[in-house]
């Protein structure tokens, strides 16, 4: 079983971490190619491209300027600990045991607009580059065209290495679009998480993102290997809802 999740906008390169192990990202050459046009953009252009405030545009302009294609523990951080958004709040990697970290390195992949695909222990430098932004480069009109063949090929390779054809999609729609499901040739299971209120169930973004992280943790710590085993997920009050679920789209509800 392989799991994919999205990165997060929120980063933390300051908090003390105990994990000393690290690996190098695979698509450094491609990331360097993307950095060339990004470094040429003004603050105003970044504001327009990314839809961010002047302060965030200036911060990311500085990140692009400082970015280098060399990664050491002194200049970079493992992706698993650098990302700190809602998914990673649910994942709670700070409390992982060494066995959990190894399971994550083997089974978890993080999709990225800059790095393509990351393993949890791959070192990254601070950045912000969402997969859905309209960044064109040469013959590619956007990041989906730039990355899709490379990401899909990498995921197929990792699935082959894992000995499984099961992919659990816990990424956002924006990021999962970077994978071509037809060429992946895998069984894709996409769990959904919904909150109950007044007899109806709806997806609430913050809670759904956190639940994706919790399910990732549940899979890794329990060594799950099948879609049916996912139904046992019961973290933070969620339970499998058979009435709302469909094949390869299990729904988990609470409230």
Question: For 205-232, how does the pLDDT look when each residue is reduced to its tens digit (9 = 90+)?
Answer: 999 999 999 999 999 999 999 999 999 9
Q: In angstroms, rounded to a whole number, what is the distance separating the alpha carbons of residues 23 and 110?
A: 14
Residue 182 has a pLDDT of 94
Structure tokens at 195: 């909150």
Q: In angstroms, rounded to a whole number, what is the distance separating the alpha carbons of residues 206 and 210?
A: 6
Q: How confident is the model at residue 156 (pLDDT cuts 50, 70, 90)?
A: very high
Q: How far apart are the first and last CA of the chain?
A: 29
pLDDT beyond 90 at 67: yes
pLDDT beyond 90 at 153: yes
- Write the CB contacts of 188 (distance below 8 Å, at least 6 apart in sequence): 167, 169, 181, 248
Q: In angstroms, rounded to a whole number, what is the distance separating the alpha carbons of residues 9 and 50?
A: 12
- Pick from 78, 96, 80: which is nearest to 88 by CA? 80
Partners of 201 in the β-ladder = 196
Per DSSP, 94 falls in state G
The distance from CA 166 to its chain's CA centroid, rounded to whole angstroms, is: 17
Residue 130 has a pLDDT of 96
Residue 199 has a pLDDT of 85
What mean pLDDT, rounded, does the chain reach? 96
CB-CB contact of 58 with 45 (8 Å): no
**DSSP E strand boundaries for 97-198:** 108-112, 116-118, 123-124, 166-169, 187-189, 192-197
Residue 149 has a pLDDT of 97
**Average of pLDDT values for 172-195?**
96
Q: In angstroms, rounded to a whole number, what is the distance separating the alpha carbons of residues 146 and 140?
A: 6
**Average of pLDDT values for 177-192?**
96
Residue 60 has a pLDDT of 96
- Pick from 136, 86, 140, 83: which is nearest to 112 by CA? 83
Residue 248 has a pLDDT of 97
Torsion of CA 55, 58, 60, 61, to 10 degrees: 170
pLDDT beyond 90 at 198: no
What share of the chain in percent tops pLDDT 70? 100
CB-CB contact of 81 with 19 (8 Å): yes
- pLDDT, tens digit, for every residue of 71-112? 999 999 999 999 999 999 999 999 999 999 999 999 999 999
Residue 97 has a pLDDT of 96
- pLDDT, tens digit, for every residue of 128-152? 999 999 999 989 999 999 999 999 9
**DSSP E strand boundaries for 47-205:** 77-78, 108-112, 116-118, 123-124, 166-169, 187-189, 192-197, 200-202
Residue 236 has a pLDDT of 97
pLDDT beyond 90 at 6: yes
Structure tokens at 183: 């060429």
CB-CB contact of 124 with 118 (8 Å): yes
**Average of pLDDT values for 160-172?**
96
């Amino acid at each position: 079983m392989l799991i994919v999740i999205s990165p997060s906008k929120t980063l933390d390169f300051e908090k003390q971490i105990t994990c000393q192990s690290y690996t190098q990202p695979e698509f450094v050459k491609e990331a360097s190619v993307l950095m060339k046009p990004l470094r040429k953009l003004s603050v105003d252009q970044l504001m327009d491209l990314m839809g961010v405030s002047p302060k965030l545009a200036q911060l990311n302009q500085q990140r692009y300027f400082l970015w280098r294609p060399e990664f050491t523990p002194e200049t970079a951080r493992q992706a698993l600990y650098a990302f700190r958004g809602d998914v990673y709040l649910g994942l709670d990697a700070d409390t992982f045991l060494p066995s959990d970290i190894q399971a994550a390195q083997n089974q978890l992949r993080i999709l990225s607009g800059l790095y393509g695909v990351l393993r949890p222990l791959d070192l990254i430098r601070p950045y912000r580059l969402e997969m859905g932004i309209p960044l064109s480069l040469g013959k590619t009109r956007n990041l989906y065209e730039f990355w899709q063949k490379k990401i899909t090929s990498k995921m197929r390779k990792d699935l082959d290495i894992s000995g499984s054809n099961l992919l659990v999609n816990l990424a956002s729609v924006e990021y999962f679009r970077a994978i071509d499901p037809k060429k992946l040739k895998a069984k894709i299971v996409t769990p959904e998480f919904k909150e109950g209120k007044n007899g109806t169930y709806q997806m609430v973004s913050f809670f759904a993102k956190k639940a994706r992280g919790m399910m990732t943790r549940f899979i890794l710590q329990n060594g799950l290997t099948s879609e049916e085993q996912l139904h046992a997920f019961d973290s933070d009050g969620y339970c499998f809802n058979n009435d709302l679920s469909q094949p390869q789209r299990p729904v988990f509800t609470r409230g």
